[in-house]
Chain A
Amino acid sequence: MTDAYIYDALRTPRGKGRKDGALHEVTSLRLSALTLNALKERNNLDGHAVEDVIWGNVTQVMEQGGCLARSAVLASDLDESIPGLAINRFCASGMEAVNLAANQVKGGAGDAYIAGGVEMMGRVAMGSDGAAIAVDPTMAMEKYFVPQGISADIIATEYGFTRDQADALAVESQRRAKAAWDDGRFDKSVITVRDQNGLPILDHDEYMRPQTDMQSLGALNASFQAMGEVMPGFDKVAMLKYPHLEKINHIHHAGNSSGIVDGSAAVLIGNKEFGEKYGLKPRARIKATAKIGTDPTIMLTGPVPVTQKILADNGMDIKDIDLFEVNEAFAAVVLRFMQAFDVDSDKVNVNGGSIAMGHPLGATGAMIIGTLLDEMERADKETGLATLCIASGMGAATIIERV
């Protein structure tokens, strides 16, 4: 089978996903086109260099609706002969775009792809696309739907993580992200977002709070306690599913959960011939991909079984992995991953994660693959694994190795 290589990976900085966020004035379309153009430009690609653009995006309504991938291609400097595919696997959409592209290259369906995604969470609100699983009683009641924050708190309860452990992970995420920026570790990947006149709009991750400490986090109220214990009482639903639990321990809050941000990322994936044609050196091989469905109520435990699956499918062991990116959707997700595999925290999210820098849903999966690759190159590591938990009970993973 053909090998699929990563030739390049880049991302925009992440802006606060609020009305006063720096990227709030930029449309999803423009940010997508800008990301595609940056990738095309710095790799000297022809307009028709790739087979397709696979674009992850979760809330596909309004400006993010109507197959944004196609509009983004048309708005970019790429040729109109490249079609564009919008995909949604919730938080792993950006990763799934990369995996789909890699597997098509491996299967011989084209020489190269651009894969990535975008999410302007401040412009198109999370959840505004509706979801039968939350409101249709035949699903919500039968499958014991609870919101993700409750799921994260169920993980904490089930696997015994305390508020202090979660807060410590959050403080460390902030510290690592700050150190990484100070050390210029994201320089290779982060592009500056500019307006139509070339004027800079944002060149750094805007969401970070490096001054965060245990004390400041300790002052925050648990975000999901009221909806769990009082109205409408999701804890009771959780206990229908997990009758061995006496109560849910609500440990998550804004400071130890991922941030709501705007951002976009893209990865250039191709076979050997593609690299030779454009004079590009492959940075890494996409060794394996995997996805899995899990219990939808606890919902966010997917990284563990999907990692077990990807390792087993490829005859690998957890010890074969030198570095991990485990999306920091909620602190308990990462704590659970490290607990399940007995992996040391100095191998996981070494440059911080979504708690510090934010989680632009449709883009994050592509972003963390880039972050992982940059760090593997910097620290001279061979093999890395990126994984995300996914809404409605799913998990996705990618293993890359340097060539």
Chain B
Amino acid sequence: MTHDHHTHDHDHPHDHHHDNELDPFAARVKALETILTEKGLIDPAAIDAIVETYEHKVGPRNGARVVAKAWTDPEFAEWLARDATAAIASLGYTGRQGEHMQAVFNTPDTHNLIVCTLCSCYPWTVLGVPPVWYKAPPYRSQAVINPRGVLAEFGLKLPEDTRIRVWDSTAELRYMVVPMRPVETDGLSEDELARLVTRDSMIGTGLPLRPGSLSPDALWPPQDVSGAAT
């Protein structure tokens, strides 16, 4: 597996954009918040509470718990397949951008991939707010026409005869992928299993980590590991 883009990121032509440019836009947002606060239309403390929610409380660890439970509890897995909104709510994950959920299960024959070509629809209740690449034109444009090429960018090469099912989130249903349980995980607890479930494996751009194979490859993408604390 090659991950040249890890170390050669600076070689990418920067004709795409990231959200990390600290620019005059910071002043523009500040001005807008000031106007709205002065007019009594927003309360800055409410803004703080929203940010706190999505920075520290709602994130991919929610989804990982859903997946780990589905791996260990066949009844829950069946419920999740039949009525994902209710099954996920039973773990306490409800609300904005997760009002109408469907879980889609990877099988040996079919790999699922989630995208929103029209905007940035994403299952916030289980995965938090979407990463920059999910909202940006390269992913949104290519996921439906060249999903294998997209997966290769994530270091994921599927057999050619593996069917790829792309779910374009064009309405108000929000999808999460339930990846297949990795091999050699028989003795693991639900908590231990949840630590193997990466964010990308629930979008479909990755696979779960494998226990005991903590090579740099296995840790890709590393942000999922660091996110485990939340």
A pairs with B: no
Query: Chain A residues in contact with chain B, CB under 8 A?
Result: none
Interface residues of B (CB under 8 A from A): none
